[in-house]
Amino acid sequence: MLSQTEQRVLDQCDLLFPQVLDMTRDLVSQYSVLGREQGALEAMAAWFKHFGLPLEHLPLDDPSLHRNPHHAPVDWSNEGRYSLVSRLNPDSSRPHLVFNGHLDVVPAEPVGMWSQAPWQPWEKDGWLYGRGAGDMKAGIAAMVMAVQAVREAGVTIDHPLTLQTVIEEECTGNGALACINRGLCGDFVLIPEPFGARIYAGQVGALWFRLRVAGVPAHVLDTSAGSNAIETLIALIPALKTLEKELNEAREAPYDELTHPFNLGIGTLEGGNWPSSVPAHGVLEGRIGFPPGMSPDTIMERVRRTVKDAHRQLGEAEENLVVEFHGFRSEGHLVDLEHPGIHLLSECHEALHGDRPEAFLATCTTDLRAFHVGAGVAGTCYGPVAERIHGIDECVNIESIRHTLKAYALFLCRWPDQQRQRSN
């Protein structure tokens, strides 16, 4: 059942929905790949200012962030890069609610395969297209406009609420960790990732790795005189596939319900400097998933041992291989589906849909890890429906954005009452 106040808020969501789409288009038009997020951050800041919301920058080059045990080391500069947050009622001692979303996107190349330029959003048959439209700029627009809908409907927000728009979700999680490191972890977090109107029940761990191989250059008139670094890297991939198989064969509940939850991805491979020379260097980068309960140190050691053993079996000198880890080293975890915040979200879903939401296990990682592992804060992901994220012609279902907007607005309305009931 919806109260008159709640119905007024939902009606306001409908009135503001064109602005949700405007914000989504505005953010999508900023091609915010790694190192080029400034345009999206400035666009987001302009929207915050438009609605009279306070702004705060959380720098990613903060030395205290680098000392955080959950910080992921990187080999690029973070000077001048930051996450952007807006805090309401920060001095209140009441339970603190966090809405979190990421502004960064993965590269759209090859751009020529897209129907239109990926940074020029377009609509077709009820879907909004563009890189980041689904993952996850539409979700950010919905969560921000949910706050505005509540305020314009005359409902006072008198508890702590933090809107977090972060970067580096796609590679490290350090943007969200900057919020945690500053103490902006809250008591419950909602993240509108584009997995639809479902309760996100858990996620796998994710590790990025890099293999560097040194070869011996030679003319191709006698390739045996050299050592081909690229071919050596390719020969190491089957060992990594074996490790992937071992991880999946040993899966435990609840991930035993999924056939293949822990996936290996070979993302980049480059090397050499001349077509007619045996390449003397090669670099391979990849990602591997691992189960909740396994530490990043454990999976790093397994990757390191697996690759070095395979390299040794090829008869290559040990010093010619370097195994490095940069970016993601994110633990997996399971969501407490009995948490009061999850029950409240389910009730909001039911009020809008007429039935309870389903729960699902993810085979990826999200910034929920920063809150769960880094601060012990409960939360989940619940957002629009998207297709082809990280792929060609990424798109988000427009009506699903409207539902996300209303679900977050209704959750925001009911959050204080639930907290009062818990304290009684």
Q: For the segment 84-98, what is each residue's pLDDT rounded down to a tens digit? A: 999 999 999 999 999
Q: Give the whole-angstrom CA distance, residue 226 versus residue 220.
A: 9
Beta bridge partners of 216: 227
Q: What are phi and psi of 288, to 5 degrees?
A: -135, 140
Kindly state the tokens that stand for 304.
Answer: 């390191």
pLDDT, residue 223, reads: 81
pLDDT, residue 180, reads: 97
The region, left, alpha or beta by phi > 0 then psi within -120 to 50, assigned to residue 106 is beta
- Hey, which bits of 89-233 come out as E strands? 97-102, 122-124, 127-129, 161-166, 188-191, 199-203, 205-214
Could you check whether the bond before residue 59 is cis, i.e. omega within 30 degrees of 0?
no
Exposure string for 341-375, b = 16+ CB within 10 A, e = fewer? bbebbbbbbebbeeeebebebbbbbbbbbbbbbbb
Beta bridge partners of 128: 123, 396
* Total number of residues shown for the chain: 424
pLDDT, residue 423, reads: 56
pLDDT, residue 260, reads: 97
Domain extents in the chain: 4-203+332-423, 205-330
* Positions in the chain whose pLDDT score sits under 70: 419-424
Q: What is the Rg, in whole angstroms, of the alpha carbon atoms belonging to the chain?
A: 23
188 secondary structure, DSSP code: E
Beta-strand relationship, 161-166 and 97-102: parallel
- Of 321, 109, 324, which is closest to residue 208 (Cα–Cα)? 324
Beta bridge partners of 206: 289, 330
Give the model confidence (pLDDT) of 304-340 as tens digits.
999 999 999 999 999 999 999 999 999 999 999 999 9
Kindly state the tokens that stand for 211.
Answer: 């293999």
Q: Give the whole-angstrom CA distance, residue 96 versus residue 179.
A: 13
- Of 108, 106, 110, which is closest to residue 119 (Cα–Cα)? 108
Give residue 345's identity as a one-letter amino acid code. L
Contact 33, 337 (CB under 8 A): no
Q: Which helix (H) or strand (E) holds 284?
A: strand 281-290
Beta bridge partners of 195: 385
CATH topology (fold) of 4-203+332-423: Aminopeptidase (3.40.630)
Beta bridge partners of 321: 213
pLDDT, residue 385, reads: 98
Q: Give the whole-angstrom CA distance, residue 271 versus residue 43.
A: 38
Q: Give the whole-angstrom CA distance, residue 26 versus residue 137.
A: 9
Q: Give the whole-angstrom CA distance, residue 165 versus residue 44.
A: 8
- Torsion angle of the four alpha carbons 231, 232, 235, 236, in this order, in degrees rounded to the nearest 10: -140
Matching CATH number, 205-330, of 3.30.70.360, 3.40.50.880, 3.90.1150.10, 2.40.10.10: 3.30.70.360
Question: Same topology for domains 4-203+332-423 and 205-330, yes or no?
Answer: no
